[in-house]
Amino acid sequence: MKPPICSICYKRFLKDGGLIYFKQTAEDIEFNKQFEKKGFTGHPSNAFWFCEFHYSNALKYKHLTKTEAFELMKINKVI
């Protein structure tokens, strides 16, 4: 798992903020199947950390894929 560093502002944090899982694409599903294998470690391809300042805005887009969500966050100046 990646450490808690905001995917927008790159701020490191220990509390406040959180991890958001966006809708999986076919590629995400395929990649994330690896976590079922014994001993496999890593970070889900559709999961992103957000600090307390960006979490609530990013949460609005969790029903979208990561590409769709980040594009809309860019358009709406969340990024």
- What is the C-alpha end-to-end distance of the chain, expressed in Å? 23
Residue 8 lies in a domain: no
Residue 9 lies in a domain: no
Residue 4 lies in a domain: no
Helix (H, G, I), strand (E, B) or coil at 52: coil
Provide the domain limits for residue 64: 18-75
> In the prediction, which pLDDT does 65 show?
98
Residue type, 27: E
Residue 71 lies in a domain: yes
> In the prediction, which pLDDT does 76 show?
82
> In the prediction, which pLDDT does 79 show?
66
What is the band of 53 on the pLDDT scale with cuts at 50, 70, 90?
A: very high
pLDDT at residue 78 is higher than 80:
no
What is the band of 61 on the pLDDT scale with cuts at 50, 70, 90?
A: very high
**Neighbouring C-beta atoms of residue 37, cutoff 10 Å:** 8
